[in-house]
Structure 1
């Protein structure tokens, strides 16, 4: 915008001598100003980002859109109108049943990490972080997926498990702790996290146990029961387990029957502190710490089930769960067959498996090694700070927009609205990672005990044990309210107990983000994800917590009634979506769906205010650049494209808290009037809308 300069103090200004001249001058000035505004707006609308990363993104999106065989489904299935082309351009790894944009970014990190740990002559090879990682990686690659018969430590562990006494509650609890070391997830699990009713305190969380099959419903399905029974019979025969495989299947079927639903487990008020002595947990644990059960009904039923289950059956089940946990990391064909057919999971290549293990148990070390890579971050710490500042600025703009949206809402009472605004204003933000995670000496000290052992099995088990020790050391100390997310994790998170968003460096990657992207492109990528996390502060789960992260009902009765009605609208709306003939669970996915809907509203408002400019040049099927709004929505949808195996996706619908990507995109856009206007959708494609604010 150009401002009319003021007259210079040393110059005279000739004034008109008649009112008509003054009027004419005013009219000419007004017309000139309006023309200038119109010209500026047009220039902004047609301004393209010319940075190399924008050109690459534009070229890829152009090919994506024009290769799609479903371009005519823009108004009815926008996700597929974009992503059909994406799937033709992006190959899915054979061992993965689901491959998304996030998974592609994560795989890129692994490839970069592999290059670092294998390239002994690189400039980064001498750093302490890479030296430690390279030593561990070499040991894993040389010994990964061994035959169980060749691992003496595994045989010794199996003998120890056989000798355990499960005839008493304390013996059962010791078996639970042993299962936590291996990942066996026997009967129930224990972890340490903030107390949801007093977030300054760390509490013991007791969570219902896992299952061998992917869902409780599979235990009544003849196909899946048969697959699991086949595995059990192999385990009994090959590892000389006494007893009956059918008895173990019957017992685990009972565990599945008493398991609480994922929907109930999502309800923060469903969890309850242990207030009286129970034989399920040792008295010492209950006496010294707050113990919170994620499902009181499950633990009550488990108590009765254990009282009526023969010790022999319980022991067999414990051994089976331990074997499954460890054989996942070995070459045992019946386990490979079971995981492929029943869980839709195939083993990755050895190198990728080893990188995954290092990423899982030494995430701060693998993150530091990647951040020290000058090929990826030529400016070193300067690049980190630049990204942090850029994202912080975008999030603050997002915060102001969210506050404005809530202020504009008409259905909340002033008291409830002010509390909601106060909570949003106090949402904390961590970009990249906590400062200590970027300090080499601090990270090396953190992993000082994670050294190479005599065998890969011993090294791997040391990782698991050290992890548990670090977890349990949090007990008795106040909640530090630090983010535990490693810097190169490819995701973003909102923590209810800490009212905090974490955006790691790992997700600040192409195509979701680049520091040289224009604002609309950032909003369509990482902006949608961060806005989604921001919305969790006030979604169907987040609205139950106050600004300090404590469960509290701060809603006026009438406001809560209105909120519930709006929430139920989303439940009904998403229940109507079907994937491969299976209905989406609108209640289980409700919080995530609400977050998607508010997020698209926020980022669209900011992009619209910026006139969608500068934008990435995306050419449509006619070879002409898409208008700004169309380019914005196309880039957003492309970031949610995914490859999937049909059976794996059907299974995910039974327990996943996120709706399928196509439902997430199409569901949110059908509630945004601007989308219909942008693509001039016909009336017959319009559906009933749900709105929160």
Structure 2
């Protein structure tokens, strides 16, 4: 799950952290104690409702169909729980894997499509949110209008490239004496295209009451920096080279020059990748700040003051603070940029724009895009239904507008109260755990308790989405046009940057806005705000349903809340205090114990294999710590609740048809079935380069460390799911 502040990722269009990570296994038939609930429980009513259904057997069968009853859960609980997931779910062509979150995203996409094709057309001109709905309608309709998009071909892109002061590959009259690096980067940044010195405005990590400009790490054409660091025969890099050549040929580049230009682009990105692969470092190791004056002095061949002043239409002085997440590598990045030939750099910066925008063009570009996607992950773009694809794009680009309509139709406001109550209970248990953690000294424990007391939990959506005046004000400066899909995307990008710029105004008052949209199926911990965010589209079955037994809700939504809370005290979160300010508030003694316990998780997860490729336990350590902490916190809350019930009340925890399944077992099943997954072999390297481990290891690693799981399923000591050595932090 996510755990950082976010901005838009322009290549994928998803939510990405401005911080640098960002933020996706046999024997005889077991006895009845091991009957497992499957992953697909969205239609399963609760005990007090199920008797009103005539098709009880159908629902129970639906629960059971994903389990593999030939697997002993004490040997492999993930394979037992999710062993038949693949039999009932094909990986869609446009996916590199398929798991519960993909399934929920598909359902969300269908709901948004319904909104954009039916609900939105019923909005009357006198409705208070007509401006918001009209923008979403225009973008969606311009996206599905493939006739117009195909008629316009690449012309919109070529017009945009004129803003970049020349493209040597396409312009025979290009003059290197007219090349101005700062001017080109200004244009790319104003249209929110990640580049070599891309910037964003976000909370000052050293004073979270203020906002500052951040210079971000270079964004490369391939998401996995490791692809650039392998041998010359790397399949992904070769596919990327072919993609560059094919795209540039469609733009009528000289075929005798295009291969050389592609090689120069890749050579430059290889150099950058060698100094920007920083995912394994902690934020406190990466974060630094300098003044503009310092930048001008230390890196004098790039005019930082001009770049920032013109970009922001401002007059920053030498004392203006700038943040970085490059750690000690800014000088290395700067040296690469400054020492690169001007022609190569000009071609590369034009390529950055092309790569970010080509998917908004006509069908001629689809083949090279698909070929690259197939080579990297085995997936391709979704051509079966342009409408559904455009629904996704509209949600990504106008998420606030779409969310305002979505929550009015689909979100159950009553869900917030119960989930918030679960969150408070989990915070209470975490506080108790602090006093059970003998490795913490009193000073660190006291500060940790203050932090958890202040940790917020925001659920559903920000309140301003129900305020029509505020909502229309949000979009007042955005204009879109029918039949101008490419330009609409550009206008939204520029609008997004302009809204971020407002945060630097000394009179700016932080609005009730989130860094993610309610129509995102994920949950997040925001370190600078010391809060958990759980969007509306996340609070749905099987993650949460008010009619589910408590065991299922605590096993799913409870574990997720605990996961996010634990992020506030993981390898990164421990460096942020109660107010979200970065800094070390730990004593040396407690920090030494923390590092020792963290290493236990690293060693454990290093041993997991996916298609004979090892998991990187150090890269995934934050998520592994959060998974373990979250599950154990939620189980303690659930056990406390269960022990307070009388026998009659406990019967409500029994599902008809699964009466032999104990409540504690159902809790662990609910947790495990949240992570059922199937990954294409071609996507293995990409998945293992993610800070989030594959679903199988989230189940296996977490449950192997928990004695209560072994007790619930009577797993013998030293069986695969009950090893004698266990890792525990929180």
Contact 1:97 1:345 in 2 (8 A): yes
Partner of 1:601: 632
Q: Is the counterpart of residue 578 in structure 1 residue 609 in structure 2?
A: yes
Q: Distance in 2 between matches of 1:302 and 1:143?
A: 41
Kindly report which structure 2 residues correspond to 1:468-617, keeping only aligned pairs within 5 A, or say none.
468-477=497-506, 480=510, 482=512, 483-611=514-642, 613=650, 617=654
SS at match of 1:412: coil
Kept in 1: contact 2:120–2:137 (CA 8 A): no
2:683 alignment partner, one of 630, 634, 648: 648
| Contact 1:359/1:366 (<8 A) preserved | yes
Asked whether the equivalents of residues 166 and 346 of structure 2 are also in contact (C-alpha less than 8 Å), the reply is no
Alignment of 1:317-466 (within 5 A): 317-330=348-361, 331=363, 332=365, 333-342=367-376, 344-348=378-382, 349-373=385-409, 376=410, 383-384=412-413, 386-453=414-481, 455-466=484-495
Contact 2:179 2:346 survives alignment (8 Å): no
Q: Which residue of 2 aligns with 1:136?
A: 139
1:249 aligns with 2:244: no
| Alignment TM-score, normalising by the size of structure 2 | 0.81
Aligned residues, how many?
634
Distance 1:593 1:125, change over 3 A: farther
Q: Deviations over 1:632-681 (max 9, x none)?
A: 11111111112321221332212x11111111111111110011111111
Q: Which has the larger radius of gyration?
A: 1
Report the equivalent of 1:25: none
The runs of 5 or more residues in structure 2 that have no matched partner are: 1-45, 168-173, 309-315, 644-649
From 196, 199, 216, give the equivalent of 1:207.
216
Does 1:270 pair with 2:286?
yes
Question: Any idea what the Cα deviations from partners look like across 1:111-152, whole Å, max 9, x if unmatched?
Answer: 122122212698667752444433332222113893496253
- Conserved? CA contact 1:57–1:616, under 8 Å: no
Task: Name the stretch that deviates more: 470-479 or 72-81.
Answer: 470-479
- Greater mean alpha carbon deviation, residues 459-468 or residues 87-96: 87-96
Distance 1:567 1:144 in 2: 56
Query: Following superposition of structure 1 onto structure 2, how do residues 669-680 of structure 1 map, counting pairs within 5 Å?
Result: 669-680=703-714
Q: How does 1:60-75 map to 2 (within 5 A)?
A: 63-69=62-68, 71-75=70-74
Query: In 2 relative to 1, CA 93–495 (structure 1 residues): closer, same or farther, beyond 3 Å?
Result: same
Deviates more, 1:291-300 or 1:311-320: 291-300
Give 1:94 shift.
Answer: 2.5
Distance in 2 (CA, whole Å) between partners of 1:261 and 1:73 is: 40
Pick the aligned partner of 1:172 from 178, 181, 191.
181
User: For residues 140-187 of structure 1, what are the alpha-carbon distances to aligned partners after superposition, in whole Å with 9 as ceiling and x for unaligned?
Assistant: 211389349625332211333352799699932332333335564322
- The verdict on how the C-alpha distance between 1:557 and 1:288 changes in structure 2, with shifts beyond 3 A counting, is closer
**Distance in 2 between residues matched to 1:61 and 1:257, nearest whole Å:** 53
Is the CA contact 2:205–2:528 (under 8 Å) kept in the aligned structure 1?
Answer: yes
2 CA distance for matches of 1:54 and 1:82?
28
2:71–2:79 contact (8 Å) kept in structure 1:
no
* Aligned partners of 1:196 and 1:550 also within 8 Å: yes
Deviates more, 1:204-213 or 1:121-130: 121-130
Distance 1:312 1:112, change over 3 A: same
By how many angstroms is 1:250 displaced?
1.8
Q: Quick one: distance in 2 between partners of 1:110 and 1:238?
A: 31
Distance 1:299 1:58, change over 3 A: farther
TM-score under structure 1 normalisation?
0.85
The alignment partner of 1:50 has SS state of helix
How far apart, in 2, do the equivalents of 1:61 and 1:180 lie?
Answer: 53
SS in 1 for 2:71: helix
Q: Alpha carbon RMSD of aligned pairs, Å?
A: 2.9
User: Is 1:666 matched up with 2:700?
Assistant: yes
Shift of 1:251: 1.9
